[in-house]
Chain A
Amino acid sequence: DTAVSQTPKYLVTQMGNDKSIKCEQNLGHDTMYWYKQDSKKFLKIMFSYNNKELIINETVPNRFSPKSPDKAHLNLHINSLELGDSAVYFCASSHGTHSPLHFGNGTRLTVT
């Protein structure tokens, strides 16, 4: 009965590869997010979708492309992976604004 689930939990890949991270929420929320936690432990927002519509797109390289096939899913595809992409990526969801974010357990991406 996991509320926000992400797969995979760990992802190790080589520079230049393309990879995807999947996220699903069963909370009935209308808004989903991708956050990145870097080596300094900052949690920075990358993207947000509300009802499948992109509403936040922070200054993220266009190698990162989110896709929301429906309200319950938000996937993150990363092209041409670079060493600096190594981080923990968290998916989250919320019920509109001014309500708590519910996070998944993260995907630790390591680019070698």
Chain B
Amino acid sequence: DQQVKQNSPSLSVQEGRISILNCDYTNSMFDYFLWYKKYPAEGPTFLISISSIKDKNEDGRFTVFLNKSAKHLSLHIVPSQPGDSAVYFCAASGPSGTYKYIFGTGTRLKVLA
């Protein structure tokens, strides 16, 4: 029972364009969402998070959008750079007080120079 799903295993984008990574979840009790980037042979690195009381959070080139009614979140990277090529994981946690973070299966992003 995969509660957090990333249905696109891979995505290719031209340098300078927008990258949009998607994530769906099934548990309506989730109230905190995160995105991580992972390079080979390294641990996942935290990128950006969003609480369920918001629908958007921005940090530089990274923006996360949350659509609670659709149980969907997305990560926008603008402009995409070759160094952004990595595997991106979304994760969810909740309800408040829960320590368990559930991860999606990842999307491999390739930014083409």
Residues on A lying within 8 angstroms of B by beta carbon are 4, 31, 33, 35, 40-45, 48, 50, 55-56, 90, 92, 94, 97-98, 100-106
Instruction: Type the 1/0 row for B19-45, where 1 means its CB is closer than 8 Å to any CB of A.
Output: 000000000000110101000011111
Q: Which residues of B contact A (CB under 8 A)?
A: 31-32, 34, 36, 41-46, 49, 51, 87, 89, 91, 93, 96-103, 105-106
Cross-chain contact A98 with B105 (CB below 8 angstroms): no
Contact status of A97 and B43, CB under 8 A, knowing A41-B105, A43-B89: no
Complex CA–CA separation, A44 to B46 (angstroms): 17
B32 (CB) vs chain A CBs: closest residue: A98
Main secondary structure, interface of A, reads strand
Q: A35-B103, A101-B34, A103-B45 are in contact. List 8 more A-B contacts (CB 8 A).
A: A40-B105, A41-B87, A43-B89, A48-B100, A90-B43, A97-B32, A98-B32, A102-B46
Question: Please, which residues of chain A bring their CB within 8 A of the CB of B42?
Answer: 105-106
